[in-house]
């Protein structure tokens, strides 16, 4: 069924119940809105900025957006993009686009002007919704991108090059449009991370979206009384499809702006959150703050919090073991996925398998997985190969890129580019990205294994392991280490600690610096290789 059916069902069954809360503790004061639908009570500086909508209002807002687009002449199959930070308008706009039969195109809020223009053209976008944070980036290219394309501004103070969303939608009907949708219909385009150049456009149909919602609800047993805390950006498949477990269950979710330990724990406490998806850096910062005594658990109401889950990047087992020291009653899950597989869950650990921390898990609900060699043949148990997955959440294609599609989709199997192995119990362990494998003197070295080892060092806050150029060995292993606040660490300490590793896996170069991560928590290894690879080459040249 189309994913929009779930929203309409919730309107009918749970219309008066809260669907979404927007919580922005960073806003000290919000003026009273003049628009009827967002008429908010004046907040004082001591009260966090908070607003909410019910399921009925959510669905009605989506219907207004849909009818507005249809009145403008948007047709089934056209592309309508969103470039906005998380806010209460985001999901109603998204579902409004889907209700027209158009394809929702989700833009990474880190895109610069050139990337925005490139992706608008690549995806054949005819309408773009954007927020106030992007006025500058769009203004510089407005003349180029507005030809044959409508720009709709969502916020206060509409710029001259765009149309005002509030004015356009205010008088539109809140009745569902009469557009017939099938699960085979194209629904959404997500963009790849773009770590090797400009992003690719990943096309999914309604079946993919509904599968993601049902899978999330099943994996995490999301019920009517659960409250999901959503912190990562909604343009990303991880955030949206974890939230869709709440859509499937008809339960409340909180969109939180802010990632400090205090902000996260306060939101869990005040909103009664039971399900929280964290990225590795946020979980580590909570643990560090607890270790230092900067935050105290007794200051918050956390008894209702039942599940902490992590995805988007490999998770050091040491982090989860330490988490359990503070939260022994928490269920825990790791979720693996790609935007090409509708985000998280094609492989998941499972809340009943915490004894297997370190694995990414087993095939998710309605998914199949294999580990294969370069010829596509399954490898023996325990051997390393490429993880491939198959299921109802696999992308339709890379839009406008048949060559990349053919390279990634073979006989219905999605080739992930991730190297993995399977143990005797059928649990899959992620070894590394295929392109991140370091080949040193003919030996394959998998950075994730070394990163997990170093992450257990008591002074290490974050770590990335990359290959650095070497004349004799081709590559050597370099470790970029971010040290915990208030601590000092030396290369000699790291060298001594790494003596427990086989000699060929030990980092040959240790660099103390911040580890850059993107908005979804993934380490930006191409940027690290470019920066430190170039520096290492200069060092070698200077040494002769």
pTM passes above 0.75: yes
In a domain, 300, yes or no: no
CB 440 within 8 A of CB 504: yes
Quick one: pLDDT at residue 42?
Answer: 34
In a domain, 534, yes or no: yes
CATH number at residue 484: 3.30.300.30
Domain edge (last residue) among 186, 219, 252: 219
Please report the sign of the dihedral spanned by the C-alpha atoms of residue 330, residue 331, residue 337, residue 339: negative
pLDDT average, residue stretch 183-193: 91
In a domain, 343, yes or no: no
Ranges of beta strands (E only) in 257-412 are 275-278, 307-311, 331-338, 343-348, 362-363, 368-372, 385-390, 397-398, 409-410
Quick one: pLDDT at residue 6?
Answer: 97
Share of the chain above pLDDT 70, in %: 91
How far apart, in whole angstroms, are the C-alpha atoms of residue 66 and residue 498? 58
How far apart, in whole angstroms, are the C-alpha atoms of residue 511 and residue 279? 23
In a domain, 401, yes or no: no
Angle between helices 237-249 and 4-14 (to 10 degrees): 40
Closest CA relative to residue 521, chosen from 268, 335, 386, 390: 335
Q: How much is the mean pLDDT over the chain?
A: 88
Q: CA-based Rg of the chain, rounded to a whole angstrom?
A: 24
Strand-pair category, 252-256 with 409-410: unpaired
Residue 514 structural domain = 437-543
pLDDT average, residue stretch 6-16: 97
Quick one: pLDDT at residue 540?
Answer: 62
pLDDT digits (tens, 9 = 90+) for 293-328: 999 999 999 999 999 998 766 677 888 999 999 999
The three-point CA angle 284-499-501 to 5° equals 70
In a domain, 91, yes or no: yes
In which band, very low, low, confident or very high, does the pLDDT at 44 lie, cut at 50, 70 and 90? very low
pLDDT digits (tens, 9 = 90+) for 392-430: 999 999 999 999 999 999 999 999 988 899 999 999 998
pLDDT digits (tens, 9 = 90+) for 131-186: 999 999 999 999 999 888 999 999 999 999 999 999 999 999 999 999 999 999 99
Task: Look at residue 498 and give its three-state secondary structure.
Answer: helix
In which band, very low, low, confident or very high, does the pLDDT at 199 lie, cut at 50, 70 and 90? confident
In a domain, 273, yes or no: no
In a domain, 339, yes or no: no
Quick one: pLDDT at residue 193?
Answer: 65
In a domain, 281, yes or no: no
Quick one: pLDDT at residue 542?
Answer: 64
Domain edge (last residue) among 165, 189, 219: 219
Quick one: pLDDT at residue 329?
Answer: 93
Quick one: pLDDT at residue 45?
Answer: 37
pLDDT average, residue stretch 222-241: 92
Task: Look at residue 10 and give its three-state secondary structure.
Answer: helix
Counting the structural domains of the chain, the total is 2
> What 3 state SS string does 225-280 have?
CCEEEECCCCCCHHHHHHHHHHHHHCCEEEEECCCCHHHHHHHHHHHCCCEEEECH
Domain edge (last residue) among 178, 197, 219: 219
Q: Name the token pair of 394.
A: 């696999």
Quick one: pLDDT at residue 39?
Answer: 31
CATH number at residue 38: 3.40.50.12780
């Amino acid at each position: 069924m189309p994913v929009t059916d779930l929203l309409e069902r919730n309107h009918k069954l749970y219309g008066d119940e809260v669907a979404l809360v927007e919580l922005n503790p960073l806003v000290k004061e919000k003026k009273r809105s003049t628009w009827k639908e967002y008429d908010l009570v004046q907040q004082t500086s001591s009260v966090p900025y908070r607003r909410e909508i019910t399921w009925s209002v959510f669905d009605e807002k989506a219907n207004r957006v849909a009818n507005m687009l249809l009145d403008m002449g948007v047709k089934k199959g056209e592309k309508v993009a969103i470039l906005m930070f998380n806010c209460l308008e985001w999901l109603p706009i998204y579902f409004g686009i889907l209700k027209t039969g158009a394809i929702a195109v989700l833009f990474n809020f880190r895109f610069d002007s050139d990337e925005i223009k490139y992706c608008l053209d690549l995806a054949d976008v005819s309408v773009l919704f954007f927020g106030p944070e992007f006025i500058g980036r769009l203004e510089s290219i407005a003349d180029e991108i507005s030809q044959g394309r409508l720009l709709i501004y969502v916020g206060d103070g509409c710029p001259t090059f765009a149309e005002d969303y509030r004015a356009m939608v205010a008088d539109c009907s809140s009745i569902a449009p009469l557009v017939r949708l099938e699960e085979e219909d194209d629904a959404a385009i997500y963009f790849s991370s773009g770590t090797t150049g400009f992003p690719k456009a990943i096309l999914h149909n309604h079946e993919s979206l509904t599968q993601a919602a049902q899978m999330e609800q099943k994996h995490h047993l999301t019920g009517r009384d659960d409250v999901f805390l959503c912190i990562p950006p909604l343009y990303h498949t991880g955030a949206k499809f974890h939230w869709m477990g709440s859509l499937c269950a008809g339960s409340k979710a909180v969109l939180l702006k802010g990632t400090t330990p205090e902000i996260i724990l306060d939101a869990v406490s005040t909103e009664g959150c039971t399900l929280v998806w964290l990225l590795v850096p946020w979980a580590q910062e909570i643990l560090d703050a607890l270790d230092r005594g900067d935050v105290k658990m007794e200051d918050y109401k956390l008894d209702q919090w039942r599940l902490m889950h992590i995805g988007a990047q490999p998770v050091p087992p040491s982090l989860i073991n330490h988490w359990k020291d503070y939260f022994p009653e928490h269920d825990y899950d790791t979720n693996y996925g790609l935007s090409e597989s509708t985000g998280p869950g094609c492989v998941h650990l499972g809340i009943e398998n915490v004894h297997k921390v370190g694995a990414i898990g087993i095939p998710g609900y309605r998914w199949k997985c294999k580990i294969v060699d370069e010829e596509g043949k399954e490898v023996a148990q325990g051997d390393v190969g490429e993880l491939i997955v198959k299921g109802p959440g696999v992308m339709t294609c890379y839009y406008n890129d048949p060559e990349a599609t053919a390279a990634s989709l073979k006989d219905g199997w999605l080739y992930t580019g991730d190297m993995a192995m399977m143990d005797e119990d059928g649990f899959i362990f992620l070894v590394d990205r295929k392109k991140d494998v370091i080949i040193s003197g003919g030996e394959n070295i998998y950075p994730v294994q070394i990163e997990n080892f170093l992450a257990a060092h008591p002074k290490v806050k974050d770590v990335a392991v990359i290959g650095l150029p070497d004349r004799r060995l081709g590559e050597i292993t370099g470790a970029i280490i971010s040290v915990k606040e208030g601590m000092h660490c030396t290369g000699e300490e790291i060298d001594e600690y790494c003596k427990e590793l086989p000699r060929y896996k030990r980092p040959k170069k240790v660099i103390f610096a911040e580890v850059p991560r993107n908005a979804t928590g993934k380490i930006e290894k191409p940027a690290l290789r470019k920066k430190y690879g170039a520096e290492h080459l200069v060092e070698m040249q200077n040494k002769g």
